[in-house]
Amino acid sequence: MIYFDNSATTKPYEEVVDSFVKVSTEYFGNPSSLHNIGGKAEQLLTQARSQVARLLNVKDSEIYFTSGGTESNNLAIKGTALMYRGRGRHIISTTIEHPSVTEAINQLEQLGFEVTFVPVDSDGRVDAKEIEKAIRHDTILVSVMHINNEVGTIQPIKEIGTMLKEYPKILFHVDHVQGAGKVPINFYDCGIDLCTISGHKFHGLKGTGALFIRDGIRISPLLSGGNQELNTRSGTENVAGIVAMAKALRLTIQKRETGIHQMEVIKDILRDELEKIDGVKVHTPKEGSAPYILNFSVRGFRAEVFVHALEEQDIYVSTTSACSSKKKSPSKTLIAMGLPEEEANSAIRISLSFENTMEEAVYAADKIKQTIKQLGEVMN
Amino acid sequence: MERIYLDHAATSPMHPKVIEAVVNVMNSNFGNPSSIHSFGREARLLVDEARDILAKSIGAKRNEIIFTSGGTEADNLALIGIAEAYKSNGKHIISTEIEHHAVLNTCKELENRGYEVTYLPVDETGKVSVDDLKKNLRDDTILVSVMFGNNEVGTLQPIKEIGKVLAEHHAVFHTDAVQAYGLEKINVNEAGIDLLSVSAHKINGPKGIGFLYIRDGIKLLPRIFGGEQERKRRAGTENVASIVGFKEAVIISQQEMHARREKYREWKNVLIKKLQVEEIDFRINGSLENAMPHVINISFPGTNVEAMLVNMDLSGIAVSSGSACTAGSVDPSHVLVAMFGKDSARIRNSIRFSFGLNNTTEQIEKAALETAKIVKRMTNK
């Protein structure tokens, strides 16, 4: 079995599951409880917060736990827009964001906010200068993803953040869900005010995530209740899941040190092999893309057909992002990059983890070749 | 020292079978339910199976269940989602003074948005009056939110009667059943409930997962936007492992409901008898007859709650002053204030005991004895 769909979700590391079990069994208390059992749970929560903060090079007080990337993105965007609407009602984002950003912004539009979605070039990259051109006197928020989930293009976060330092009233949110642990960024250097991560994208558990909120920034909460997470996110903390996420982040960052080179090699092998195949077009740019995402089209085949054909070979890839793959619409990112709809409809995404091997890459490339040939024969 | 955990209303340990189920999914079915390949399809199937079982447990249909990150999110989604969806019919909401903060603070948020909220008072047992509700219903009332059973004193609310009243009114009926679910039989159709919130970690399931029941045909504006999960009403990759753990916890709690109810009722008697034998001065806050079996709130005249909690904790007994979710504060409980007024001594000398998994009769006896000792010490008897 070759699992090449790690941008949709990852298999939790064994140690992560162990942590979850240990905390669930031995420290099941509610961190808000005043007694010893609650106190121990609170202690673990504090430690996990410190660990995540340390791994991301930020302060403990800047980490807020949520139920995942979608909630973090919603909280960041709506929470700041509602808090700072007195300053203005204009938001800037891009045409290639994850639906949890786009849809949150669309909701704000219905509440009277105005939005500029800045387009990307043919590599799927937004230009910091284009973002700057879109700035108005009433712009309050810029939200740009770090690594595009569909094609893997790395966005010029540092350039955008540096440019935005000239506009101190504009907040900068980065959806770091695909990058966390694998393509690190320094939040402070990049001038990031809010940053989203999701546990299950780096071998943590589903239902866990965090939002970095730079000290001094206030946001309007999405959930009201017991005032947990410094009044920013109510609800009993998922202590076991949070501890497991901290562990997953640490392990991913560790594995990166030794595994990043191999990952790049694997991606290169796949790219080279794919490019040799007649009718295949690789969409992920050669330069400036994440070492674990490879997006390509096979001319003449609908993506779903191809995904299922590979599945029969026990190779798991995806059409576009999992969150939109139920829809039959073509990849939003590829359309934004200027690709014709037919190509966007046949796009396949391979996404790697540090667990994938060179052998898997060679084997998969071979099977992809065979599958294209076989499908081609059936269709002709 | 043996620790005795009598704070199951704050959170409960996961049942070993739940942990096993969760771990199984984490290891073997880690796919994203939205993926079209077999990993995704298997995960989707698990989510659907769980949804079926949860739905059946309250007499609902599968498509009427929305998974959330917990009770707080379910309450927020219910109140704001309904208020925003029905605001063209009016902006009046009725709730009670004794709701959980997830409801109360959401009501405050709605007040900030221009809604008007009537908070119904309760009697000395912590129960709202159906007549009061009737008197306060207006043409522009769009939502009534009354909790099923109170988390601090255990009092059951007249949910069926409220359901009947609202059958003749256009207002939507929400109940926060976080504390009652699993120990009280709930049928949303018989009770006329339109929305109902549940949290897994109160019934030996995982933290970070809950559900909102919403009756077919009722409009709800989503709160968390993104992918098209949960029929576009709650975006975000489904927490498959926890959902399966939740299912397991529901199966167990439904099977054991009757036996647990009997046991917990008996434990209340054990606790009371022991305190009586020890000649402790105490009063039950709420009602023994009209209450959930696992929650009992007791006032000990002459003590103060902070010192009580510290001493009980030192004796290895974990109890609480009220809701854990008042995040670490020992402000007087709003529930007790609603029942007895802000000047009553009872709001500063009351302790909540709540029973659950792994408790034994011996533990209850021991806890009662330790409580008696501490009360005696504090009241110089």
pLDDT digits (tens, 9 = 90+) for B119-157: 999 999 999 999 999 999 999 999 999 999 999 999 999
Which of A328-332, B110-114, B217-221 comes out lowest in average pLDDT? A328-332
Torsion sign (Cα): A178, A181, A185, A186: positive
Per-residue pLDDT tens over the stretch B186-208: 999 999 999 999 999 999 999 99
CB contact under 8 A, A20 and B323: no
Tell me what ipTM this predicted complex has: 0.92
- The Cα–Cα gap between A107 and B223 comes to 9
Query: What tokens appear for B102 in the block?
Result: 């997830």
For chain B, list the domains and their CATH numbers: 4-12+257-378 (3.90.1150.10), 16-251 (3.40.640.10)
Is residue A67 over pLDDT 70? yes
pLDDT average, residue stretch A122-136 = 98
pLDDT at B323: 58
Which of A114-123, A209-218, A248-257, B220-229 comes out lowest in average pLDDT? B220-229
Radius of gyration of chain B (CA): 21
Sheet bearing A209-213, strands edge to edge: A63-66, A209-213, A194-198, A171-175, A139-145, A90-94, A114-118
Is residue B309 over pLDDT 50? yes
Closest CB to A30: pick one of B11, B73, B309.
Answer: B11
- The Cα–Cα gap between A213 and B102 comes to 23
Please give the C-alpha separations between residue A310 and each of A7, A8, A283, A316, in angstroms, as whole numbers.
Answer: 17, 17, 19, 7
For chain A, list the domains and their CATH numbers: 2-8+257-379 (3.90.1150.10), 14-250 (3.40.640.10)
A 317-336: CB under 8 A from B? 317-319, 321-327
Asked if B1 has any chain A CB less than 8 Å from its own CB, the reply is: no
Interface test with A, best of B17, B18, B29, B69 (most A CBs within 10 A): B69
- The Cα–Cα gap between B265 and A35 comes to 24
pLDDT at B326: 52
CB contact under 8 A, B10 and A98: no
pLDDT at A230: 87
pLDDT at A327: 55
Band of residue A321 on the pLDDT scale cut at 50, 70, 90: low
Task: Classify residue B294 as exposed, middle or buried by CB count within 10 Å of its CB (0-12, 13-18, 19+).
Answer: buried
**What is the rounded average pLDDT for all residues in chain B?**
95
Closest CB to A68: pick one of B236, B240, B320.
Answer: B236
Asked if B105 has any chain A CB less than 8 Å from its own CB, the reply is: yes
Asked if A97 has any chain B CB less than 8 Å from its own CB, the reply is: no
pLDDT average, residue stretch A346-365 = 95
Is residue A326 over pLDDT 80? no
Alpha helices, DSSP H only, in chain A?
14-26, 36-55, 69-83, 99-110, 128-134, 157-164, 228-231, 239-276, 303-312, 332-336, 341-345, 358-379
- The residue type of A240 is A
pLDDT average, residue stretch A38-44 = 96
Among B177, B216, B221, CA closest to B197: B177
Torsion sign (Cα): A98, A104, A109, A113: negative
Asked if B326 has any chain A CB less than 8 Å from its own CB, the reply is: yes
**What is the rounded average pLDDT for all residues in chain A?**
94
Is residue B48 over pLDDT 90? yes
Closest CB to A17: pick one of B26, B39, B325.
Answer: B26
Is residue A15 over pLDDT 60? yes
pLDDT at A175: 98
- What percent of chain B stands above pLDDT 70? 98
- What percent of chain B stands above pLDDT 90? 94
CB atoms within 10 A of CB B63: 11
Among B297, B143, A179, CA closest to B133: B143
Burial A166-199 (b: 16+ CB within 10 A, else e): eeeebbbbbbbbbbbbbbebebeebbbbbbbbbb
pLDDT average, residue stretch A249-259 = 96
Closest CB to A100: pick one of B11, B69, B226.
Answer: B226
pLDDT at A16: 98
pLDDT average, residue stretch B284-303 = 97
Longest dimension (CA), chain A: 72
CB contact under 8 A, B102 and A316: no
Per-residue pLDDT tens over the stretch A259-294: 999 999 999 999 999 999 988 999 999 999 999 999
Element (H, E) at B272: helix B240-277
CB atoms within 10 A of CB B113: 12
Alpha helices, DSSP H only, in A152-238?
157-164, 228-231
- Phi first, then psi: what are they for A143, rounded to 5°? -125, 115
Query: What tokens appear for A375 in the block?
Result: 């499908």
Active site residues of A: 323
Closest CB to B72: pick one of A36, A103, A223.
Answer: A223
CB contact under 8 A, A24 and B27: no
pLDDT at A320: 72
- The Cα–Cα gap between B211 and B70 comes to 7
- Contact criterion met (CB below 8 Å) for A201 and A354: no
pLDDT at B327: 45
CB contact under 8 A, B69 and A32: no
CA distance B9 to chain A (A): 10
pLDDT at A377: 78
Instruction: Give chain B's count of helices (H) and strands (E).
Output: 12, 12
Among B282, B207, B155, B281, CA closest to B14: B207
Is residue B116 over pLDDT 60? yes
Interface test with B, best of A5, A9, A316 (most B CBs within 10 A): A9
Which single residue is written with the structure tokens 């089209």?
A: A297
Per-residue pLDDT tens over the stretch A230-240: 889 999 999 99
CB contact under 8 A, B34 and A325: yes
DSSP 8-state secondary structure symbol assigned to residue A171: E
Per-residue pLDDT tens over the stretch A151-207: 999 999 999 999 999 999 999 999 999 999 999 999 999 999 999 999 999 999 999
A 220-259: CB under 8 A from B? 222-228, 234-241
- The Cα–Cα gap between A155 and B148 comes to 50
- The Cα–Cα gap between A101 and B36 comes to 23
- What percent of chain A stands above pLDDT 90? 88
Asked if B207 has any chain A CB less than 8 Å from its own CB, the reply is: yes
CB contact under 8 A, B239 and A206: yes
Active site residues of B: 325
pLDDT at A75: 97
Per-residue pLDDT tens over the stretch A77-101: 999 999 999 999 999 999 999 999 9
CA distance B368 to chain A (A): 17
Is residue B47 over pLDDT 50? yes
